[in-house]
Amino acid sequence: MVSAQGDNARGSKRRQAEAILTNVAHISAPFLSVFILIHLSAPALANVGGSSLSSNVMLLGREYYQTSFGERYLLFAPLAAHVASSIAKRIIAPRSASPRKITSSLSLAAYSTLLIFLPIHFFTHRLSPTDPSAPIFAVGPSELDFEFVKMGLARFPWRSWVLYGGLVASVMLHAVEGAQIIQASRFASRDFRMRPRTRKIVAGAVLVPILAGLWTVSQEPLMVFASLAERYEAVFMQSWVYGF
């Protein structure tokens, strides 16, 4: 009897913890969605106005997600909360009631983003350019526009396409799958329930204009001084992905 009561108490606490972690994951998702919308609108708009418009949109978007407050509290904090709560929920859930298989589209997209594409992208596009030493000399935010992206596509074409394409595809698939889960758990209506194949089609439909925008950028000539182009290349070469 005592053992059964103890099991029930532990089960109740575990369910409470899972509910809290679910709420954290769901609440942090809209912050990340806003960032994704702003960040990926830049390459998509290259279809309309080329790299010049993309650069302007990206620089404007940084006023939201790359200020001292925005980057810390509107991007990093929600990202950390989303990742930590999702992993913790998987750890504490009993095997018989695992949140979902690790081979699900949601999980595969999440882990490929978290473990492969995002670290490389963050290092190459955020950390490495801030290196004050030669030959990078801390590429400033105003210098780090879509000419940098254009440089990567021209100098390291297959690696850049794989990394950009893989990152955007993983993020979009995770976002669509996650939106479906939040909709199903928060709203009783089934009117907007999508089949797995439909969700993949939606993610692909969002992916197309972004990659098309990158292709548009890649077809333009590089419009930077040779000295800045050398600093760009040094930024890429700091990453093992581009340096080998």
Q: How many CB atoms lie within 10 A of CB 143?
A: 14
pLDDT in tens, 209-224: 999 999 999 999 999 9
pLDDT over threshold 70, residue 6: no
User: DSSP for 74-131?
Assistant: IIIHHHHHHHHHHHHHHHHS-GGG-SS-TTSHHHHHHHHIIIIIHHHHHIIIIIGGG-
Assigned token pair, 215:
């292709």
pLDDT at residue 102 in the model: 83
pLDDT in tens, 38-93: 999 999 999 999 999 999 999 999 999 999 999 999 999 999 999 999 999 988 87
Residue-range domains of the chain with CATH: 2-238 (1.20.1300)
Q: Position 76: which residue type?
A: F
The dihedral region occupied by 233, where left means phi > 0, alpha psi between -120 and 50, and beta the remainder, is alpha
Structure tokens at 140: 């400033």
Of the listed ranges 74-88, 96-110, 144-158, the one predicted with least confidence: 96-110
